[in-house]
Structure 1
Amino acid sequence: MTEEQHYQLSDFDYDLPESLIAQTPLKQRDSSRLLVLDADTGSYEDKHFYDILDYVAPGDAIVMNNSRVLPARLHGARPETGGHAEVLLLRQDHGDVWETLVKPAKKSPVGSTIVFGDDIDNPIMTATIVGELEHGGRYIEFHYEGIFMELLEQLGEMPLPPYIKEKLADQERYQTVYSKVEGSAAAPTAGLHWTPELLDKIRQKGVKTVELTLHVGLGTFRPVEEENIEDHKMHSEFYQLSQEAADTLNEVHEYGGRIIATGTTSIRTLETIGSKFDGHLQADSGWTDIFIKPGYHWTMVDAFITNFHLPKSTLVMLVAAFTGRENILNAYQHAVNDKYRFFSFGDAMFIKRER
C-alpha cells in the first residue's frame, strides 16, 4: 500500500494506558493474543498466537531474525572514587573498542577508567574511555584476560527497554528460541512468541522457515523528535543474509508463495536487500538505515508478524506503510479497548493482504 500524503509525527500518536504495557512475559510464549489485520480492508480478528497456523499455507516462508541479545548492561566503578558507573554496549566498533552509553557521562571524560568485578583493586575487566559521541555516548576500549563474551555473560545484565520496570526472572525469556548470533542490544521481540513445537507444526504444514541476522541497536528506542518525519535520521544496524536463505526465498516467490517476516527487523533486512537488487534477494551483509514509512514501495515482504509499538515511533510508521495509517490506528484502538498487552513482552499482530 502506498500513500503520497506527507505525514507529521503527531499523525502516528495514540493514547495508551500505562497499565497495558506488559512488564513480564507470559508463562507460555505462544499463548499471547494475536490481532489478525487485513491491510486491504482494515478488518481484524481476535486470535491467539498459536492460531498463526491457520493463516499460513504450504509454499509460504516464515523469516526469522536469529540475532541474540548481549547481556550488554555492565555495572562498574571508578577506581579513583569508587563511584558507580553504568555502561551499555551499543555495538562493537573494532577489536576491543565498543560504542557505548555511559552514566553518568559527565564523569567519564576521555582517558578515564572504569573497572568491573566485585574487587576494585583486582577487577575482572577494565575499560578506558577513548572517545566521545553525542547523547552521552563514549567509545570504550576493554582490557581483560580470556574470552570477552564469556566475561560479558559473567558480568553483564540483559538490557531491558526503559518502559519495563520489573526484574526478569529468566534471562532467556528476552531471547527468541532460535537466537544464536550474538550482537543485539535489544531483542527482536516479535519472535518471542515462537516455540520450537509451533515451528515444527509450521514446517509440517509445508511452510519453510528461513533465518537472517539483523543486530538490533538501541536506536530502536530513540524517540522521533522532528515533527516533520522526513527530517528524522534513522540509526544504522548490521544485517546479514546467506545465499542459501536468499535462494529459498526467491524460489518461494517464484512458485507463488508468500514471504512472511517475523518482526520489523526481518522486514528491514529483506526490504533493504530487495530494494538494492531490484526485487530479488542475494547473499548480502552491511549496515542499513532504511526508513519505511507511508509511501514506501514494498519489494519483498507479503505479510508479517509484529508486536504493538510505541506511539509516534518509526515502527508504527513502518507498519502504517503496509496497512495505511487509518487501518493501523483503528486496529490499535481496538487493541487498547480490548486490553491487549503492549510492547516487548506484549501481544502480537499478524498483518496480511491480497497479493
Structure 2
Amino acid sequence: MLKSEFYYDLPQELIAQEPCIPRDAARLMYLKKENGAIEHRVFHDLPQILEPGDLLVINNSKVLPARLIGHKAQTGAVCELLLLREEEKDVWECLARPGKRLHPGNSIEFGDGTLKAQIIETKSDGNKMVRFTYDTQTLYEKLDAFGKMPLPPYIQKQLEDGSLYQTVYAKELGSAAAPTAGLHFTPELMETLEGKGIHFAEVTLHVGLGTFRPVKEENITDHKMHSEWYSIDGKNAEKIQKAKQEGHRVIAVGTTSCRTLEAAATTHGTICSCSGNTDIFIYPGYKFQAIDGLITNFHLPESTLIMLVSAFCGYENTMNAYKTAVQEKYRFFSFGDAMLIL
C-alpha cells in the first residue's frame, strides 16, 4: 500500500491543544469492526458498552520530563536536549537543538549548573549520544527539577500541570511521549469498570519519539520502524492468558499496548512473561494474534498509527471513521477524543 492512501484532510482547529477535563468527558467514537457502524458516545460510557469478563490491557509507562533547556558551557548559547533512551548508565541518546552546533566534546549546563551533559558522539541520523553528570543519587531527580514534558510539536500551548500528560496509572519511568489513549481514564471510571466485572492487566512499553516520525517512503513496506523496549510480567501474562482461555475479549488501551501484545505473541507464540525491544510494524494485511478490541485516539495522516488501526478494523472502515470524525468535529491527536473498536 502507498503512504498517500492514509492521508486525510484535517482542519488545524481540530487539533486538541489541551486535555478534556474531566478526562473521561472526552467524546468516544464506537466503531464496529464487522460492518463499520459508528456510534457517538462519551468516554465515561465505557461501563455500559463493555461486557463483564472483558480485559483492558493498559501501558503503565510513565513519561520522563525529558526536555532539558540549558546553556553551552563554551559559549553560553541556549540549547536543548530531549532524552530518548538510556543506552548505558547515564549515557542517553538525545535529540539536540541546534544539532549542527553541538559536537563531541561540547558541554551543556542546566538549571543551577548541578546537571551537566557532554556530547560524546553524533549518530548517523543526527541524534547525539550524551553523558550526564549530577550531584543527586539519580538523573531522574534532576529531570524532576529541571526537565519539562516533551509535548508533541503540534501542541503549541504550554502545559502548566505536567501530570495532565501522564495516565493516572503511570508508574514505570521511561517514555518520551505519553501512551495517550490511556489519558481518558480516571480512578473513578476504573473503579466502576472493575465493579462491573471488567478487569485490567498492565504491560510496559516505553514510548519513543519515533512515534511522531513521519513515514517518508511512499511504499509503506519500505518504512523502518523505530525500536521500543517492552515488558510483560508473569502475573499480568497469566491474566491475559486466562481471559483468552475463557473466551473473553482482550482490549488493548492504545497502540502501544497493542504493539506490546502482538510483539510478544509474534515472538513467543503466546502471551508470556517476557521483555525486549520491538520494532513490529502493523499495517493492513497483518494477522492479529492477541487483541480483540482497541481503544485509541485519532492519529496523524499517513502515520504508522493510522496504518495499525486500518490493519485492525479495515482500511475502508478506518478512513470512513476519520472522515466522519472531521465532519463531527472530534478533537484529534494526543489530547483529543477517543475511538473504541470492537
What TM-score bracket applies, with the shorter chain setting the length?
A: over 0.9
Distance 2:114 2:11 in 1: 43
Task: Give the structure-2-normalised TM-score.
Answer: 0.99
Compute the displacement of 1:106 (Å).
1.3
The amino acid that maps onto 1:44 is I
Matched, 1:112 2:103: no
Q: 1:302 aligns with which of 283, 287, 292?
A: 292
Structure 1 gaps of 5+ residues are 1-6
3-state SS in 2 of match to 1:296: coil
Distance 2:187 2:56 in 1: 14
Q: For the Cα contact (< 8 Å) 2:74–2:106, is it kept in 1? A: no
Q: 1:227 aligns with which of 214, 218, 222?
A: 218
Distance 2:306 2:189 in 1: 27
Distance 1:132 1:61 in 2: 44
- For 1:125-274, what aligned pairs fall within 5 Å after superposition? 125-146=115-136, 147-274=138-265
Q: For the Cα contact (< 8 Å) 1:74–1:155, is it kept in 2? A: yes
3-state SS in 2 of match to 1:89: strand
Distance 2:235 2:289 in 1: 19
Compute the displacement of 1:277 (Å).
2.4
3-state SS in 1 of match to 2:336: coil
Distance 2:143 2:268 in 1: 38
3-state SS in 1 of match to 2:117: strand
Matched, 1:56 2:47: no
Distance 1:105 1:135 in 2: 11
Matched, 1:340 2:330: yes
The amino acid that maps onto 1:230 is T
3-state SS in 2 of match to 1:226: coil
Q: For the Cα contact (< 8 Å) 1:25–1:345, is it kept in 2? A: yes
The amino acid that maps onto 2:155 is I
- Relative to structure 2, which stretch is displaced further, 129-138 or 232-241? 129-138
3-state SS in 2 of match to 1:74: strand
Structure 2 gaps of 5+ residues are none
Compute the displacement of 1:107 (Å).
1.2
Q: For the Cα contact (< 8 Å) 1:34–1:347, is it kept in 2? A: yes
Task: Give the structure-1-normalised TM-score.
Answer: 0.95
Q: Encode CA deviations 1:220-243: one digit per residue, 9 max, x unaligned.
A: 000000000010000000000001
Q: 2:74 aligns with which of 80, 101, 123?
A: 80
Compute the displacement of 1:268 (Å).
0.1
Q: For the Cα contact (< 8 Å) 1:103–1:136, is it kept in 2? A: no
- Relative to structure 2, which stretch is displaced further, 49-58 or 317-326? 49-58
Matched, 1:20 2:26: no
Q: For the Cα contact (< 8 Å) 2:262–2:290, is it kept in 1? A: yes
Distance 2:267 2:128 in 1: 32
Compute the displacement of 1:292 (Å).
0.4
Compute the displacement of 1:134 (Å).
3.3
Q: 2:37 aligns with which of 28, 33, 43?
A: 43
Q: For the Cα contact (< 8 Å) 2:83–2:95, is it kept in 1? A: yes
Moved over 3 A (4+): none
The amino acid that maps onto 2:291 is V
Q: For the Cα contact (< 8 Å) 2:61–2:170, is it kept in 1? A: yes
Distance 2:311 2:234 in 1: 28
Q: Encode CA deviations 1:239-273: one digit per residue, 9 max, x unaligned.
A: 00001111111110111100011000000000001
3-state SS in 1 of match to 2:121: strand
3-state SS in 1 of match to 2:190: helix
Distance 1:334 1:143 in 2: 51
Q: For the Cα contact (< 8 Å) 2:73–2:106, is it kept in 1? A: no
Distance 1:315 1:342 in 2: 13
The amino acid that maps onto 2:299 is H
Matched, 1:96 2:90: yes
Q: 2:273 aligns with which of 271, 283, 290?
A: 283
The amino acid that maps onto 1:335 is A
Compute the displacement of 1:91 (Å).
0.5
Q: Encode CA deviations 1:328-348: one digit per residue, 9 max, x unaligned.
A: 110111100000000000000
3-state SS in 2 of match to 1:305: strand
3-state SS in 1 of match to 2:153: coil
Distance 1:247 1:80 in 2: 54
The amino acid that maps onto 1:137 is N
3-state SS in 1 of match to 2:21: coil
Distance 2:310 2:131 in 1: 41
